[in-house]
Chain A
Amino acid sequence: MSDDDFLRVADVSKWYGDEQVLEDVSFEMDRGDVTVLIGPSGSGKSTMLRCVNRLAEAQEGSILLDGEEVLSPDLDVDDLRREVGMVFQGFNLFAHLSARGNVALGPRRVLGLSDADAGERAEEQLDRVGLADQLDSYPAELSGGQKQRVGIARALAMEPKLMLFDEPTSALDPELIGEVLEVMHGLVDEGMTMLVVTHEMSFAREVADEVVFLDEGRVVERGPPDQLFERPDEERTGRFLERIASHD
């Protein structure tokens, strides 16, 4: 593989029982790229994202991450996941741990840092997402936007080489979306490689290197945001974008 293919997804297919949810999905990313997956609900974009860190298992195809076959049965999925951070739509913060505890758990138990070092790293990462004043707050005491920023800090604390975002703002009240997008913009500026499933078209337009439009498990169209948003080749893409736009 060539040096610029940091992530290469090739002909990935997946079935749930008889129902095919992904069909020959392919796209590539360079290191430092931001790729945004868009598509109607049920199009398979979240499933595609989860195949990259093996939270979902693709049955066919290949996913090469930094030259390694992600779908290999010999791969240690825990090793893979410590290098691939994930941010969830529903935050999924550990309910019994403070913000600091949430972020420190991975460094402590997965990376084997000492309590003190893991705590320090957690504080750094929470500071990075603007939550230095909420270290000891518990998830139930935080707003949705704050929760999601803790979720991002938790993923960042593992120092991942790729970040997956699964509709990170979909569960948020509109007025809280901005603070999360701001943090994500910051990561883009730092050169983080990000694969993002989102309905935030303005975000995609601003930061994506490539936008991939999925529908019914297939890649309908992909390209730079300017082209895909302004001059979509496919009629389906245009219809989807119109529908989304009318909701904004």
Chain B
Amino acid sequence: MASATRPTTVRERVAESDRSVGRLLLVAAGALFWGWLVVSWVNRWVGGVLVPVGQPLVPPGAVEATLAGVPGLAAYAADAAFVVELTPEFARGTWLTVVITAVSLGLGFVIAVPLAVTRVYGRVSAWVSLAYTELLRGTPLLAQLFVLYYGLNLASYVPGALSGVFARNVVWVAILGFTLNGAAYQAEYIRGALESVEEGQITAGRAIGLSKLETIYYVVLPQGLRYAIPSWTNEFVYLIKYSSLAAFITVPELYYRADQIASETFRYTLIFVLTGVMYLALVLTASKVMARVEGAVAIPGLGAERGE
């Protein structure tokens, strides 16, 4: 409801209602997607209280029967039932993709902030940071994953505390790979934002007696990280999608499961369109959430949209 004045002409009112219908549809689709994902996860977590683990939340047979009775949709009834049958696999894969992305992004951020800070304000450490960033950004992610998994065989060195969190320890190897790689990209986005913080802010911080580190912590980062949100969201969105590379080191995330089902059923188009829809739902959620975050932490008086 950003508009300050009420729409007056009929045309404006139609456009306004179109927008709210679109928003409503998007929210409904999002609720359906996340509801399905979370309910499926809870069902697995509690050991199949709702439906036996591995079974769809809705019986495929019932879906097929219902659609068969609807004129025009009858032709798709069998396909729909097929899709419903696959939902448990997709739910598991998508959930793992969400977890891998979220954990890698979070851990990557923890590394990226000091990387960016040393890059901008360090001396020797700036070079170390630069070398790290360029190495990780300059080599293929898949090659990095292969080194960690096949080369260093890290899956067999997962510490006891972490072992068993996931069904297979190789998930940690993927998280490590995405963390190290994502940190380099995140650091680049954050570096750019830090550099856009005015020099006078640092001068003013130093002038009241804050040390250089304190000034960075209390003055530069709170501003720089806000400015970084839009470009940082890119990295978030990319990571959701390139987390699919984990499939190549046998992590059973969304892409891995889709690929397996497709090679068993030969329904490549249907399976990968469906997979695409899953990724799209995740990406749209990520950008919506980040837009909300950006709005929530916006500095009053700054930024493009602000009413009187």
> Do A110 and B299 have beta carbons less than 8 Å apart?
no
B223 touches A96 (CB 8 A): yes
Given contacts A92-B200, A109-B214, contact A53 B207 (CB under 8 A): yes
User: Which of B200, B209, B301 makes the CB contact (< 8 A) with A140?
Assistant: B301
What is the CB-to-nearest-CB distance from A90 to chain B, in angstroms, rounded to a whole number?
Answer: 5
**Interface flag for A175 (CB, 8 Å):** no
Question: Are B208 and A105 neighbours in the complex by a CB distance under 8 Å?
Answer: yes
| Nearest CB of B to A111, in Å | 8
A138 in the interface (beta carbon within 8 A): yes
Q: Within B291-305, which residues are at the interface with A (CB < 8 Å)?
A: 299-302
Q: Number of residues in A with C-beta < 8 Å to the partner?
A: 27
Name the one of A55, A141, A154 contacting B206, with C-beta atoms under 8 angstroms: A55
Interface flag for B201 (CB, 8 Å):
yes
The proximity string for A residues 84-111 relative to B, scoring 1 for CB distances below 8 Å and 0 otherwise, is 0110101011111000000001100110
Residue A128 lies at the interface, judged by CB distance under 8 Å to chain B = no
Tell me, rounded to whole Å, the shortest Cβ–Cβ distance linking A35 to chain B.
19
Are the CB atoms of B299 and A140 closer together than 8 Å? yes
A78-B210, A105-B218, A109-B218 as given contacts; A139 in contact with B204, CB under 8 Å: no
Contact residue among A90, A137, A158 (Cβ-Cβ distance under 8 Å from B208): A158
User: When chains A and B are docked, how far (Å) is the Cα of A234 from the Cα of B92?
Assistant: 86
**Does residue A79 face the partner (Cβ distance < 8 Å to B)?**
yes
Selected contact of B210 from candidates A95, A106, A138, A139, CB within 8 Å? A106
A residues in contact with B207, CB < 8 Å: 53, 55, 81, 85-86, 88, 155
- Among A82, A86, A95, the most chain B Cβ lie within 10 Å of the Cβ of A95
Nearest to B223 among chain A residues (CB) is: A96
Q: Which 3 A-B pairs have the closest CB atoms?
A: A140-B301, A82-B209, A92-B204
A141/B300 in contact, CB under 8 A: yes
Write out the residue numbers on chain A whose beta carbons fall within 8 Å of the beta carbon of B302. Answer: 95, 138, 140
- Taking the closest CB of chain A, its distance from the CB of B219, in whole angstroms, is 6
Q: A88-B203, A88-B204, A138-B299 are in contact. List 8 more A-B contacts (CB 8 A).
A: A55-B203, A78-B209, A85-B207, A94-B204, A95-B198, A96-B223, A140-B300, A140-B301
Q: Give Cα A138–Cα B205 distance, bound, in whole angstroms.
A: 17
Nearest Cβ on chain A to B165's Cβ, whole angstroms? 37
Q: Name the A residues within 8 Å of B106 (CB-CB).
A: none
B299 touching A88 by the CB < 8 A rule? no
CA distance A158 to B207 in the complex (A): 11
Does any Cβ of A come within 8 Å of B222's Cβ?
yes
Complex formed: what's the CA distance from A55 to B204 in Å?
10
Residues 181-213 of chain B: 1 if any A CB is under 8 Å from the residue's CB, otherwise 0? 000000000000000001011011111111100
Determine if A94 and B209 form an interchain contact, defined as CB atoms under 8 angstroms apart: no
The answer to the question of B226 belonging to the interface, with a C-beta cut-off of 8 Å to chain A, is yes
User: Which residues of B have CB within 8 Å of A85?
Assistant: 207-208
Quick one: which of A53-94 are within 8 Å of B by CB? Answer: 53, 55, 78-79, 81-82, 85-86, 88, 90, 92-94
User: Is the CB–CB distance between B209 and A79 below 8 Å?
Assistant: yes
Asked if A81 contacts B209 (CB within 8 A), the reply is yes
| Contact (A95, B201) CB under 8 Å given A138-B300, A141-B301 | yes
Known contacts A55-B203, A88-B200; A94/B219 CB under 8 A: yes
